[in-house]
Chain A
Amino acid sequence: MPSPPAFETFAHDADIGVRGRGATLGEAFANAGRALTAVVTDPASVREVLSVEIACEASDPELLLFDWLNALVFEMATRRVLFARHEVKVEGTRLRARAFGEPVEVGRHQPAVEVKGATWTGMRVARESGTWVAECVVDV
């Protein structure tokens, strides 16, 4: 059986969910970030020409995922960028990350929709047979 994808989006009624998997919690969060890009455009079309540092702190992993995804939404919206890749370290309640990407180029990226924010719907951060999974539905 092929291993499940590191990042993916999934249909949830009219909305859309993001899911990341990884050997560590940080890797799963990084891949959830990539899935967030996939809601907007094909992440493979995004080049790495700039990077943004992000830090969040929350009392549990689900709150941390909520804050992390919303921090990405904020950076994407205010800087008008898309991210191709994320490096994420989670230590206890703290997350430190660097997101690599480039300014939106409408012609090349064909961005479909803005993500308004992460929600508690389908929110799940769990370890399944050795792999971390981080997912939730985002509002578009």
Chain B
Amino acid sequence: MDLSLLKRRTELEWVIEPRGKMRVPGLLFASEPLVRAMDLKVFEQVTNVATLPGIRTASMAMPDAHWGYGFAVGGVAAFDPDEGVVSAGGVGFDISCGVRCLRTRLTRADVEPRKKDLADALFRAIPAGVGSRGRIRLSAEEMDRMLRGGARWAVEKGWGEKGDLERIEEGGTMRDARPEAVSDRARARMRDEVGTLGSGNHYLEVQEVAEVHDAAAAEAFGLRVGDVVISIHCGSRGFGHQIGTEALREMLDAGRKHGIDLPDRELACAPIRSKEGEHYLGAMRAAINVALANRQVLTHLTREAVGSVLSQSDLTLLYDVSHNTCKVETHEVDGKPREVYVHRKGATRAWGPGHPGLPDRLRPVGQPVLIGGTMGTSSWVLAGTEAGMRASFGSACHGAGRSMSRHQALKQWNGKQVVAELESRGILIRSPSLRGVAEEAPGAYKDVTEVVEVTERAGLARRVAKLLPIVTIKG
């Protein structure tokens, strides 16, 4: 991106001053090298989002922002409940895609001698990849209960423990989901997919805590160097994809009907206070519950698999974050606390210390912010900050993002070589598809370390611990 398009407000804050139909400025949180590396499309998309009705404060981009559908991936935008809009492109296709991190009470020394057995047990237990089915078949009534209850439904059905729920955003249940707003096609896509990992960049990873950067927060999070944790990255599966796809189509007409002037049809949206807006919000919340239930069932399968290999393990949730959502939250707008609809697309909620929505144990240090890496590089645990609450509606980055298309990756790598190379570094990969492994090669992604450092320096979240992969199950 050409720096002359931006006004540098601080070292890590870059402003797009309002012009044309922009209602608020654009605001990029990034270092100079990250801004330079960003596609011009990010500039256009942040600018376009700033034109939408009812947007408040600024149209924002996190340090890992890259080209997305309508909104940049890494985009954050908050809208007034009465004047504002909701946009499917501002949430993303994989609604409530996110990361859950489990502590294990195991150390690297416990896992190392049983690593291969652990990888095989997890690969057997976790349905992964294109065409895989979960073990749960839902009746129509049970589906409705899941759409309303999310992870709480799963725990009530025996897939998990009650204590898991307070470590999940929204206590495991997204309120105001409307199963009646969900199409038969979306239901059909979920019938066999509860408890599946999916494909593409989704994974389950056994990781070692390699570094601790904030001792007090790490202590509160229960993380020590040498500890083993398990991270699960996945979302609402075909259900969310179907809701997203249908909304892209329906919102085209809704925008026109409500006289919203769009610079790009990818920004299709509907007023929050409209039939179409409420319909999408109700279905999108049901999809959030699907994602929370899905990660909960996967957690149960993980507990069984790990327990079968290492019986001394005890898997407890560090936290569960979603990085593709639109949520109603209270933030300071023009100096006053106000309710806003915060779209975070490829951005993680990062509530600061003292937030009433956090469980007691975490409240003094802030919300765990879980940042996924790739099969061969680091992942991170951050913590939300007070400054981030003011600067970015309590939002931070979500991951690295691709630096290379799937095409290029497939030309450059072969799945077998990637698996062998990682194995030589002590990382075991299990995947049903070698082509999938090649497309997801670590080299096809940007380095998340720089993104995380900049996120910390910009004050959006602070680094707590760095995680390195031991075993990766890829879809």
Give the interface of A toward B (CB within 8 A). Answer: 9-16, 40-41, 63, 66-67, 70, 73-74, 77-78, 80, 103-104, 106, 109-114, 116-121, 139-140
Contact = CB atoms under 8 A, between A and B. Distances in A.
A116 B245 contact: yes
A113 B191 CA distance: 20
30 contacts: A11-B407, A13-B67, A14-B401, A14-B405, A14-B406, A15-B405, A16-B406, A67-B249, A73-B245, A74-B242, A78-B188, A106-B130, A106-B433, A109-B130, A110-B434, A111-B131, A112-B199, A112-B406, A112-B436, A112-B438, A113-B130, A113-B406, A113-B436, A114-B130, A114-B198, A114-B200, A117-B245, A119-B69, A121-B69, A140-B406
B407 A112 contact: no
A140 to B, nearest CB: 6
A113 B39 CA distance: 25
Contacts of B200: 113-114, 140
Contact of B130 (A63, A78, A104, A121): A104
A70 B245 CA distance: 8
B67 A14 contact: yes
Contacts of B238: 77-78, 114
Given A13-B39, A16-B407, A109-B130, 19 more contacts: A10-B407, A13-B402, A14-B406, A15-B405, A16-B405, A40-B130, A74-B185, A78-B191, A106-B131, A112-B433, A112-B435, A113-B439, A116-B245, A118-B245, A119-B69, A119-B266, A120-B248, A121-B266, A140-B200
B108 interface: no
Given A112-B199, A112-B406, A112-B436, A14 B69 contact: no
A12 B317 CA distance: 37
Contacts of A104: 130-131
Contacts of A140: 200, 406
A117 B244 CA distance: 8
Contacts of A111: 129-131, 199, 432-433, 435-436
B66 interface: yes
Contacts of B188: 74, 78
Contacts of B245: 70, 73, 116-118
Interface string B228-272: 000000000010011011001100000000000000011010000
B265 A120 contact: yes
A14 B433 contact: no
B456 interface: no
Overall SS of chain A's interface: mixed
Interface size class of chain B, counting residues whose CB lies under 8 Å from the partner chain: 35 or more
Contacts of A14: 66-67, 401-402, 405-406
A4 to B, nearest CB: 17
B442 to A, nearest CB: 15
B435 A110 contact: yes
Interface in B431-447: 432-436, 438-439
Contacts of A80: 131, 133
B94 interface: yes
A94 B241 CA distance: 24
A109 B438 CA distance: 15
Top 3 nearest A-B pairs (CB, nearest first) are A104-B131, A111-B130, A11-B405
A122 B66 CA distance: 17
Of listed B67, B191, B245, B249, residue having the most chain A CB within 10 A: B245
Contacts of A10: 407
B363 interface: no
Nearest to B401: A14
Nearest to B69: A119
A27 B241 CA distance: 27
A16 B438 CA distance: 15
A116 B94 contact: yes
B444 to A, nearest CB: 9
B241 A117 contact: yes
B327 interface: no
A83 to B, nearest CB: 13
B93 interface: yes
B279 interface: no
A110 to B, nearest CB: 5
A63 B94 CA distance: 22
A80 B185 CA distance: 15
Interface in B370-426: 401-402, 405-408, 410
Contact of A13 (B185, B405, B438): B405
Contact of A77 (B189, B410, B435): B189
Nearest to A41: B435
A112 B67 contact: no
Nearest to A119: B69
B115 interface: no
A41 B188 CA distance: 24
B41 interface: yes
Interface string B6-17: 000000000000
Contacts of A66: 248-249
A114 B189 CA distance: 13
A112 B126 CA distance: 17
A70 B248 CA distance: 11
B54 to A, nearest CB: 23
A58 to B, nearest CB: 9
A13 B129 contact: no
Contacts of B241: 73, 77, 116-117, 139
Of listed A15, A67, A104, A110, residue having the most chain B CB within 10 A: A110
